[in-house]
């Protein structure tokens, strides 16, 4: 009996190893549960193209926004765990573990980590019509007019939303959250003056700031961004201890064979370690993450715990 069980395990291991060696044998779907034009879409397509070059099969990006990432993520969770469906995810997902308890999936049970992709500081901007030239003036304005100002995000639970909620809590201001269906819709609203403030990833908002379509108040990292060295951090500008980022990662449905996960992890980490990625992404304000599967698993669990505390302190709610 014991010998039969051991033989079966060895046979299954052999099949799994063989499947990893031949993987991928056909096109791989990469689900991005966010709108076109945001960081997840941009960097997801970059990684997909590089994996296609490295592994010789199409890696096809499918944008499936909705529900603050829940629509596309649920579709990925229900996909076969065979390595042919992958999920680009972000700290929206670790936030939603607390913010949206009644989801149709559990992130750390229904998905298997592959690796982190990159992280970026955010940039805090206001529409030029707002009568504030710096962060302290904006805070003073918000305190003088509680509930009169609003800020845009790409949806409830996204890093842009949580950066705003964290700012409200730490600055002691009442600013109304206006969620949008995607990050590009939120950028359109801030450029058009329909909303007064927004946090956005530096790579996707900096061009608007340079063109004076928005006014920059600060960046959200622990130190100034090399992309915007003349812009103070929010901490420097007046909200001590403030820090927020957006990061991206890759996961697969739970049950995906470990050898396939390892193969993807190795190929992606090679891409992230390349001089091209470090230079190109660095100029955009994005830093490669790259880590082992186990290290990414540990990172994810720590981030879920971190955002659980912040969601509770901020009082953020699903609208």
Domain boundaries, the chain: 25-119+246-314, 121-237
Q: Do domains 25-119+246-314 and 121-237 have the same CATH topology?
A: yes
- Find the radius of gyration of the CA atoms of the chain: 21
Q: Is the peptide bond before 159 cis (omega within 30 degrees of 0)?
A: no
Cut 0.75: pTM above it: yes
Q: Distance between CA atoms of 17 and 292, rounded to whole angstroms?
A: 19
Residue 266, classified by CB atoms within 10 Å of its CB into exposed (0-12), middle (13-18) or buried (19+), is middle
- Per DSSP bridges, beta strands 245-253 and 197-201 are unpaired
pLDDT tens digits, one per residue of 57-116: 999 999 999 888 999 999 999 999 999 999 999 999 999 999 998 999 999 999 999 999
DSSP state at residue 257: -
For residue 10, what pLDDT is reported?
57
pLDDT tens digits, one per residue of 7-28: 555 555 555 555 678 999 999 9
Element (H, E) at 213: none
Fold observed for domain 25-119+246-314: D-Maltodextrin-Binding Protein; domain 2 (3.40.190)
Fold observed for domain 121-237: D-Maltodextrin-Binding Protein; domain 2 (3.40.190)
Q: Distance between CA atoms of 182 and 37, rounded to whole angstroms?
A: 9
């Amino acid at each position: 009996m014991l010998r039969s069980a051991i033989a079966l395990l060895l046979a299954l291991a052999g099949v799994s190893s063989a499947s990893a060696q031949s993987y991928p044998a056909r096109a791989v779907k990469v689900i991005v549960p966010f709108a076109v034009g945001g960081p997840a879409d941009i960097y997801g397509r970059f990684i997909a193209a590089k994996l296609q070059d490295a592994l010789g099969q199409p890696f096809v990006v499918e944008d499936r926004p909705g529900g603050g990432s829940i629509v596309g993520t649920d579709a990925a969770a229900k996909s076969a765990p065979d390595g042919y469906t992958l999920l680009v995810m972000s700290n929206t997902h670790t936030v939603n573990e607390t913010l949206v308890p009644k989801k149709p999936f559990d992130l750390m049970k229904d998905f298997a980590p592959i690796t982190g992709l990159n992280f970026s500081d955010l940039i805090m901007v206001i529409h030029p019509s707002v009568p504030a030239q710096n962060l302290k003036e904006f805070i003073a304005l918000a305190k003088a007019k509680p509930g009169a100002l609003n800020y845009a995000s790409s949806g409830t639970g996204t890093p842009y939303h949580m950066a705003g909620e964290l700012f409200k809590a730490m600055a002691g201001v009442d600013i109304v959250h206006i969620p949008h269906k995607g990050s590009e819709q939120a950028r359109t609203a801030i450029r058009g003056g329909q909303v007064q403030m927004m946090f956005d990833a530096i790579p996707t908002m900096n061009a608007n700031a340079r063109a004076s379509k928005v006014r920059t108040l600060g960046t959200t990292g622990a130190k100034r961004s090399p992309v915007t060295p003349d812009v103070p951090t929010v901490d420097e500008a007046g909200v001590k201890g403030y820090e927020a980022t957006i990061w991206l990662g890759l996961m697969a449905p739970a049950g995906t064979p470990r050898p396939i996960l390892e193969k993807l992890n190795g190929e992606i980490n090679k891409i992230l370690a390349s001089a091209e990625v470090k230079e190109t992404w660095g100029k955009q304000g994005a830093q490669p993450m790259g880590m082992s599967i186990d290290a990414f698993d540990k990172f994810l669990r720590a981030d879920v715990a971190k955002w659980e505390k912040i969601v509770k302190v901020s009082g953020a709610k699903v609208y």
